[in-house]
Chains A and B, each alone.
Chain A
């Protein structure tokens, strides 16, 4: 299965500030009553973006100046909580193509990588610097350089961490693992044969 090689992602940014932003907040559970992911983008951060009557609350994603943003900036332990892939699906379908945060919850990180969303790890100070630049000029372009583990914006170039397994997978266009996993059918059968509980 040929996939796009994701060596870098460029776009405008928006900051959703805070630590411990959990997947329930990214996509509240009641919007997961569906058999496809198609509608997920509409409900991204729903309870912090919308009042109960559907009107807008004050939230960065509701601001006109950030409406074309495709790089999401946030705090520590982003995506903690539920394993629901609905969360990265909502982020992707809303239009985001990359995330910068201080740290990520493991399952969320894995889910994002599988969808081809690079999750960059940067320091609190560097994230604040990028956020300030975006605040000053929302049209500023941010580039997530996956290959060289750097974040570029304006004249700045900041180091960032892209976990090795994610970096390799994104750059090689092998972030969706199904093809590679399928190749190992005989090796799988051999491991299965050694485990009594796998017998029919």
Chain B
């Protein structure tokens, strides 16, 4: 019987079995950012330990960097202290740091792939739950806590229990106006926020094969929102094409050897999965959340569930969500007034996200009273958008074009909702208070749907606003 990519990568990185029965797993690539690492460096110093493999450790700043003025010292002294702490830690230990002055800074999950650091058949870990993003390249990538960051810094290994593998096949072709974000929201809605507990998700089938690397990243990114710690897609020619020529990609003869090795990690045709789920692409429509977790999602055509319409086990959380979101069960979600619109984050802050929106917003204007912000995922995304004039299209439509960072996804920088403002957001979490205000409300959707909401001033069907079906059929 063949093996899955997960099993192959796991086996290749196993150091030994630990006394608690877990596996000591080598983590090839360790990514760091400013929020979850300072305490880990502190613990390392307290124990008198060194960074074991600094050449496999890479850092950048993303969560707290301001996206308007980058003049240091920042207005927020705590943000300033955290960035300087990371600078100091990297300088002292020899860890590569993509600081703002390098032109390569950005969200850690955008920077890794962009630099060619993220590679197939490798293990990756980072103190951020969206590390699952890197699975788009056929890597096994884990989000971890700070004590594990310390373990990794000190040993390049950590203690983990193996996961079961669930293959999720999305067959057929997506309809026009349906994006990677809709696919993953549909999957999470179907399987639940904790449906993935104990599993790695292997995304397979025609839809993922046809997806670009950036679309694959969007899907893998949100694996964690379905409770799966890891999500991945088998590497293929598209993966290799993306990586070719990137700064940290192998070069020359090493490249050919690497591609051969990467191919060998793909799941075997005869491997048996612990579970298989099949979904028809034609069933997926533009999807938005209405509640306080990413599984509380509906298509743009559907009505918001009422407490009466859901299963007994869902009643309490449905009531809690409706109350918090100030939404009426049984009403359509379409037409809900929005205050803030955000395109960005590690889910949807990549070049193709900004390009896709730019295709449609030309000639449109953001509705009066709506604050719309576009925040590139990295300085490189920003630079390419500027080169192509994409930022101008956004600005002319009435968006603010910002500097690279996590921004309003989790609001650790000055970009925050105020009071009970409702945000149409391309980010990954609609938790209570997630976007910075304890009463702020988040509705997750694809970047094109965010743009449609910005232009109409209410949650809208992007296919109607931008006449997407007509464009696709033309």
Question: A interface vs B, CB < 8 Å?
Answer: 18-20, 22, 24-25, 28-30, 32-37, 47-48, 52, 76-77, 80-86, 88-89, 103, 105-107, 110-111, 114-115, 164-166, 168-169, 172, 174, 176-178, 180-182, 184-185, 187-188, 191-192, 194-198, 200
Q: Which of B194, B198, B434 contacts A77 (CB 8 A)?
A: B194
Given contacts A18-B320, A165-B21, contact A28 B145 (CB under 8 A): no
CA distance A19 to B182 in the complex (A): 25
- Complex contacts, B292 vs chain A, CB 8 Å: 20
Question: B interface vs A, CB < 8 Å?
Answer: 12-16, 18-22, 24, 26, 28, 35-36, 38-39, 42, 47, 49, 52-53, 55-56, 63-64, 76, 78-79, 81-82, 85, 119, 122, 127-129, 131, 143-148, 150-151, 154-159, 161, 193-194, 197-198, 224, 227, 229, 250, 254, 257-258, 261, 292-293, 316-317, 320, 410-412, 429, 431-434, 436, 438
Judge whether A33 and B412 touch: CB under 8 Å: yes
- Complex contacts, B143 vs chain A, CB 8 Å: 83, 107
Judge whether A80 and B145 touch: CB under 8 Å: no
Judge whether A83 and B26 touch: CB under 8 Å: no
Q: Which of B14, B79, B158, B159 contacts A33 (CB 8 A)?
A: B79
Residue of A nearest to B293 (CB): A20
Judge whether A114 and B148 touch: CB under 8 Å: yes
CA distance A172 to B18 in the complex (A): 12
Judge whether B156 and A22 touch: CB under 8 Å: no
- Complex contacts, B227 vs chain A, CB 8 Å: 77, 80, 105-106
Given contacts A33-B412, A181-B155, contact A176 B147 (CB under 8 A): yes
Judge whether B28 and A195 touch: CB under 8 Å: yes
Residue of B nearest to A87 (CB): B145
CA distance A168 to B22 in the complex (A): 10
CA distance A107 to B64 in the complex (A): 22
Most buried by A among B13, B155, B429: B155
Q: Which of B145, B156, B157, B433 contacts A111 (CB 8 A)?
A: B145
Judge whether B144 and A107 touch: CB under 8 Å: yes
CA distance A38 to B433 in the complex (A): 23
A82-B410, A188-B52 provided; 11 other pairs, C-beta below 8 A?
Answer: A20-B292, A24-B433, A25-B431, A35-B39, A77-B227, A107-B129, A107-B224, A110-B145, A195-B13, A195-B28, A198-B56
Judge whether A180 and B18 touch: CB under 8 Å: yes
Judge whether B154 and A181 touch: CB under 8 Å: yes
- Complex contacts, A165 vs chain B, CB 8 Å: 20-22, 161
Judge whether A106 and B293 touch: CB under 8 Å: no
CA distance A192 to B24 in the complex (A): 13
Judge whether B150 and A184 touch: CB under 8 Å: no
Q: Tell me how far the C-beta of B254 lies from the nearest C-beta in chain A, rounded to whole angstroms.
A: 7
Judge whether A33 and B78 touch: CB under 8 Å: yes
Residue of B nearest to A171 (CB): B20
Residue of B nearest to A190 (CB): B15
Judge whether A22 and B261 touch: CB under 8 Å: no
Q: Tell me how far the C-beta of A93 lies from the nearest C-beta in chain B, rounded to whole angstroms.
A: 12
Judge whether A20 and B145 touch: CB under 8 Å: no
Q: Which of B158, B412, B431 contacts A181 (CB 8 A)?
A: B158
Given contacts A24-B434, A103-B194, A103-B197, contact A187 B145 (CB under 8 A): no
Residue of B nearest to A164 (CB): B21
CA distance A24 to B146 in the complex (A): 16
Judge whether A188 and B36 touch: CB under 8 Å: no
Judge whether B147 and A111 touch: CB under 8 Å: yes
- Complex contacts, B64 vs chain A, CB 8 Å: 33
Given contacts A80-B194, A176-B147, contact A25 B432 (CB under 8 A): yes
CA distance A89 to B35 in the complex (A): 14
Q: Which of A22, A89, A169 contacts B431 (CB 8 A)?
A: A22
Judge whether B194 and A197 touch: CB under 8 Å: no
Q: Tell me how far the C-beta of A32 lies from the nearest C-beta in chain B, rounded to whole angstroms.
A: 6
- Complex contacts, B148 vs chain A, CB 8 Å: 110-111, 114
- Complex contacts, B159 vs chain A, CB 8 Å: 177, 180-181
Judge whether A76 and B194 touch: CB under 8 Å: yes
- Complex contacts, B147 vs chain A, CB 8 Å: 85, 111, 114-115, 176
- Complex contacts, A24 vs chain B, CB 8 Å: 410, 429, 431-434
CA distance A174 to B35 in the complex (A): 27
What are 24 of the A-B contact pairs (CB < 8 Å)? A22-B432, A24-B431, A35-B42, A35-B81, A35-B85, A36-B38, A37-B146, A52-B438, A80-B194, A81-B431, A83-B128, A83-B144, A85-B39, A103-B197, A106-B229, A111-B147, A166-B20, A168-B21, A176-B147, A177-B20, A181-B24, A181-B154, A188-B155, A192-B53
- Complex contacts, A33 vs chain B, CB 8 Å: 35, 64, 76, 78-79, 82, 412
CA distance A165 to B20 in the complex (A): 5
Residue of A nearest to B409 (CB): A29
Given contacts A165-B22, A165-B161, A196-B257, contact A84 B145 (CB under 8 A): yes
- Complex contacts, B144 vs chain A, CB 8 Å: 83, 107, 110
- Complex contacts, B35 vs chain A, CB 8 Å: 32-33, 84
The 4 closest A-B pairs by CB, nearest first: A85-B145, A111-B145, A47-B438, A35-B38
